[in-house]
Structure 1
């Protein structure tokens, strides 16, 4: 699971959550491995890079009129493509789904993840 927070920057926090489709033992095993391998930090680092890479496409989708619907559609298209190639249990699949669910991110909040903001 990826949780998106938008403020002066965009934060993506990964976690493992229980599911009715997975036994408690399997959930606890996966959670233990997730924590021991430090995957939350690894995925967060990867997400920062991914946010930078997608910024131009999001800015184009948003356009001068601030079209949050187009941003959401672009994110959902990416989510669908990644889910087909990598599966639902993938950090990128979770990232694009969570970003698409964030009204704040889609309505211009993505600009907080502009990799060139410090340069301008």
Structure 2
């Protein structure tokens, strides 16, 4: 997961800007009348989010008696996020926040949408709350769906509140096979604590990140197979290890816990791979 700074604006701006673009007077008024409720919900969200306790927020079916969850969903889709609406620029500011447009939930695919961390249908009071709106790729958005945690360990990671630090935690395990078999694992630093460690594992399962990274890593190894064979032919296992170490250091300088950093570290540290495994990348699996 990639850490993101939370949006610099709050629910007051999103609600007022959205209401200004609604041409149905009764709907606009219902939204403005709900502003105090939405503001109070935002305060609660910020307090609980900072201590990883968003699962404690009670679900609701309405915002106010005049503003149901269904109507709030219509307001979000047809007014707040609609192209050409006054509030669309706020939506885009959230969507385009990640560096290079990379999804913060998987750190791999391109952002395509804005996801409600706490889902719209269960938490309509937070539909227009910026800190509940997270840029995401389509796959992460679909995988997360409308699931809600019932305890701390079941919460997926939140880019605005969760910081995994810079200590190495993503590692690769190499198994001798033809071609080499790789898998990603999480090595939890002590500073995380038991709850955060469980949440990271949960996030990886829900988002299918191991499968995603394995596929990307297999493609990466196929790309470098020729160069590794050339290095091995001229400089032997030590040359292969040195080449992989250079690749690791380059990736580490950019991101200590990218899948590429973990891949090159794992390949470098595998005696089997440096001696013979690199020659089996292009071999058919039997």
Classify the TM-score, shorter chain.
Answer: 0.7 to 0.9
Tell me which residue corresponds to 1:82.
251
Bigger shift: 104-113 or 11-20? 11-20
Question: What TM-score results when the alignment is normalised by the length of structure 2?
Answer: 0.38
Question: What TM-score results when the alignment is normalised by the length of structure 1?
Answer: 0.88
How many residue pairs are counted as aligned between the two chains? 114
CA separation in 2, counterparts of 1:57 and 1:39? 28
Bigger shift: 15-24 or 37-46? 15-24
| 1:103 matches 2:271 | yes
| 1:112 matches 2:245 | no
**Offset of 1:26 from its aligned partner?**
1.4
Give the number of the structure whose alpha-carbon radius of gyration is greater.
2
Runs of 4+ in 1 over 4 A off after TM superposition: none
Q: Equivalences for 1:27-42 in 2 at 5 Å?
A: 27-42=197-212
Q: 2:261 aligns with which of 93, 98, 107?
A: 93
**Offset of 1:8 from its aligned partner?**
2.1
Tell me which residue corresponds to 2:184.
14
SS at match of 1:7: coil
CA separation in 2, counterparts of 1:81 and 1:90? 11
- Structure 1 residue runs without a partner (length 5+): none
